[in-house]
Structures are given as C-alpha cells and as structure tokens.
Amino acid sequence: MPTTDLLRVRDLVPDFLACLDECAGTPAATWPDRWRSRYLDRHPDVFRALDRDGSWSGTVTADVLLGLGDRAADLAARAAAVRAILPSGVAAVCDAMAWSNPADPVECVVLVGLHRANGWADDLSGRFALFLAVEQLGAPGDDRLLVLHEAAHVVHDRRAGIRTWPDHGVANGLFTEGLATQVSAELDPGRTDEDYLWFGRPGYRGWLDECRRRWPEILDRVRVDLGADDPDHHAAYFLMRDSPLAGDLPKRCGYLVGLTAVRRLRERHSLPEIAGWPLPRVRAEISAALVDLPVPA
C-alpha cells in the first residue's frame, strides 16, 4: 500500500472482489445483502460518507454486481495502476500548495463506487478525503490529471476548511474548481484546456469552442448568479444533469469560468496564498476577477 508522510491510501477493491467471490454459486437475490455485509460493513466510516441519505446503497442490484464481477481482473489492474501514481501526484500537489503536515496527511480511498463518479473529494470523519472509483477510471496510467485535481481539493480543505463552505455556492464553486484545475495545469503543463477540464478524456473541443463563442452570455449569467447557493443554480454551472435554471448553457461551463478567473488571480498571487483565503476573501476576489474577464485563449 503506497503510503508516505503526506499520503494514506486505503484500497477497498480487494474486499469488493472477495465479496463477489463469496457470491459465486449462491442465489443472485442474496447478492445485494452480501455486498452490504461483506463489503460496506467492513468500512463503515467510508460508506457513511457515501450514503448519507441512504439512496446510494439502495441502487445496487444483482445484475450490477454480476456485471462488475465480469470485470474483476480489470478492476484489480486499475486499482494497482492508480495506487502507483498516487504518491508522486499527491506529493506534487502538497508541494505546490505548501502543505507539509504529516499529522494530517491526504487520505485516499480506492474503491468500487458504483458509478457515482470517477473521482471526488468529500468529507470523511471530519476532513476531506480523495475518493477514486476504479470502475470509472480511464485506461491504467491515464488518470494523473484526475488525481492532481481531486488531491488539490483535499489540500485546499487542509489550508482553508472548504468542507464548511456552502455545498452549492456558485462563487466558491468557481473558486474551488478553478483552483484545482489550475493546480493540475501547473503540475502537468503542455496540455490543452479541455484536457485539464475533462481529465484528459477526448471529445470536448467542441464544448470548449462553444463556451468561448458564448463567453459574454455565460459571464453575464454567472455574475447575476454569483451569490446563489442552491442546488439548481449550482447544477447549471457545474453538473452534467439538467437544471431548470440552465437553459441551453453548456454543461459544466462554470469550470472554465473558474479556471479563467483563477488564472487572473495567479497573476498577482501564489498558489499557497490563494489556497489559504477564507470564504469572504474568496467571494470578493472572484467577484473582482469576473469584471471584464477575457475569453480564454
């Protein structure tokens, strides 16, 4: 298990695969209960964090588990590959953001996440942790940008306690996503903006071109909604799901706005300085950065 002074890794994939082995030869109707008792219940702190309202664990079916069982070797390979890139990726983020407290390392949970997302940062026992769901990762070795981005969120939380900020705040969403994307761009230079914003996955040049073409309209909408902190406003700028407030805005366009705004802030401030700003300073700086913000090149 790759662990350094600033990184702690918990790999839950072997327990998931062992659970599937135990399911073999038993009635499929019993598999979801076995999944809960032999996988989820062995890591109660992790799955409390994932299943706060009970909706996530209720979606698993025998068919879902059977499909994942057919990928057992692939899941194990992806887990090994992402574990291999974690030490250098997390170390680079900690160095860039000036975090060096071994008493509070970056915790990373590698798991089978049942299609929630490929990676995310979320509260785990009172501190942000990095979650990586191997069933949604790219080809082995292709997830460095994802690791850098999500690790930046975790270190940002260490610096500024962002887990206490509004979950759906538009202003702080622009800032946190822009900063995490900027960190990944500085640590893995030479790629395109669509790479940084979509973690290297192909097919998003058209999305980027549309955002650039509609930049004045997007900025006008963002400025109006900057103080919003409800799920529908947040979804309009940061999620792939439809929002009644989005209209035909390009989905996730807030990521590009946030990155462009943070790049403007980087002209005058270092990454560690920016990462330490409290929420009132963040709101003020983002509001100022959006004034006449040029179309990203």
Q: pLDDT tens across 117-159, in order?
A: 899 999 999 999 999 999 999 876 679 999 999 999 999 999 9
* pLDDT range class, residue 165, cuts 50, 70, 90: very high
Confirm if 144 and 85 have CB atoms less than 8 A apart. Answer: yes
Average pLDDT of the segment spanning 98-126: 90
Copy the structure tokens of residue 242: 């439809």
The span from the CA of 280 to the CA of 192, in Å, is 32
Higher pLDDT, 98 or 67: 98
Distances (CA, A) of 54 to 48, 57, 129, 174: 9, 6, 20, 29
* pLDDT range class, residue 66, cuts 50, 70, 90: confident
What backbone torsions phi and psi does residue 106 show, to the nearest 5 degrees? -75, 120
Q: Which amino acid is at 259?
A: L
**What pLDDT score does 1 carry?**
39
| Residue whose C-alpha is closest to residue 99's, from 154, 144, 178 | 154
Average pLDDT of the segment spanning 29-41: 90
Angle between helices 170-187 and 72-96 (to 10 degrees): 90
The pTM score is 0.94
The span from the CA of 206 to the CA of 199, in Å, is 16
* pLDDT range class, residue 172, cuts 50, 70, 90: very high
Alpha-helical segments (H) within 139-294:
144-160, 170-187, 193-198, 205-213, 215-225, 231-238, 253-266, 271-275, 279-289
**What pLDDT score does 201 carry?**
86
* DSSP secondary structure code for residue 51 in this structure: -
Ranges of beta strands (E only) in 21-155 are 106-111, 119-124, 127-133
The span from the CA of 227 to the CA of 185, in Å, is 27
Place of tokens 């030869």: 25
The span from the CA of 6 to the CA of 105, in Å, is 4
Give the H or E element holding residue 19. helix 13-23
The span from the CA of 83 to the CA of 287, in Å, is 38
* pLDDT range class, residue 115, cuts 50, 70, 90: low
* DSSP secondary structure code for residue 123 in this structure: E
Neighbouring-strand partners of residue 124: 127
* pLDDT range class, residue 2, cuts 50, 70, 90: very low
Give the H or E element holding residue 102. none
The span from the CA of 187 to the CA of 208, in Å, is 21
Burial of 117 (0-12, 13-18, 19+ CB in 10 A): middle
